[in-house]
Amino acid sequence: MSEDHYFTARPASADERRLISVTLAGEPLELETAAGVFSPGHVDLGTQVLLRTVPAPRGRVLDLGCGWGPIALTAALSGADAVVAVDVNERALDLLRRNAARVAARRPLAPLVACLPIEVAAEASFDTLWSNPPIRIGKEALHALLDAWLPRLAPRGEAFLVVQRNLGADSLAKWLAARGEENGGWGAVEKLGSAKGFRVLRVEAAQG
């Protein structure tokens, strides 16, 4: 199954592009996807829960683990000043770049950059972080990922993460609360909502 390898840099599966019909930020869109990226046939259920639960994005937005782009594109269509979307999967980044160009040809879209994590300037910070994070990379790698990005929230910034309850949403919430307290990298953690087996967690920026 292609999803088993969605976080490889260069998926081995044939890069056959196809168009799917989706609705993002209330807009019906035709977007490009391909095998070898996460949820290529539709907007993932967890992503749908996240997008229905979060308040409108503020300022500069980071989509951590963007895939073909449903979260980044929604942010760019719904009030973000600018969106940075990162992923380790180069096919996903290419799809998102092409999808952003498609959408921008027809609708006003905030500036959106899709790039590898190492291409984001070290000093860049974000007012809003939205993510359906890659739980399947394993607990240690996931913790390292969050340790690297949550401290990059700007003052008064907030992160929203969607996690499947049976893939450890509650233990991740506990870890986030304890870790933020221990290292001061971020502030309070709240369970914002729950639907269809997913939890949305809200993490505040560190108190300046």
Site residues for ligand SAM per CB under 6 A: 6-7, 38-39, 44, 47, 64-67, 70-71, 86-89, 92, 117, 132, 134, 137, 145
Beta-strand relationship, 82-86 and 17-24: unpaired
- Which residue lies nearer to ligand SAM by CB, 77 or 86? 86
d(CA 75, CA 56): 8
- CA-based radius of gyration for the chain: 16
- Which residue lies nearer to ligand SAM by CB, 6 or 126? 6
- The distance of closest approach from Cβ of residue 117 to ligand SAM in the complex, given in angstroms and rounded to an integer, is 5
- Which residue lies nearer to ligand SAM by CB, 66 or 114? 66
Q: Which of 165, 84, 75 is nearest to 126 (CA)?
A: 84
Chain centre to alpha carbon of residue 25: 15
- The distance of closest approach from Cβ of residue 208 to ligand SAM in the complex, given in angstroms and rounded to an integer, is 26
Residue nearest to ligand SAM (CB): 65
- The distance of closest approach from Cβ of residue 144 to ligand SAM in the complex, given in angstroms and rounded to an integer, is 8
- Which residue lies nearer to ligand SAM by CB, 14 or 208? 14
Q: Please, are residues 60 and 84 in contact by the beta-carbon 8 Å criterion?
A: yes
d(CA 188, CA 205): 8
**Is residue 130 helix, strand or coil?**
strand
- Which residue lies nearer to ligand SAM by CB, 119 or 170? 119
Residue linked to tokens 């199954």: 1
- The distance of closest approach from Cβ of residue 182 to ligand SAM in the complex, given in angstroms and rounded to an integer, is 22
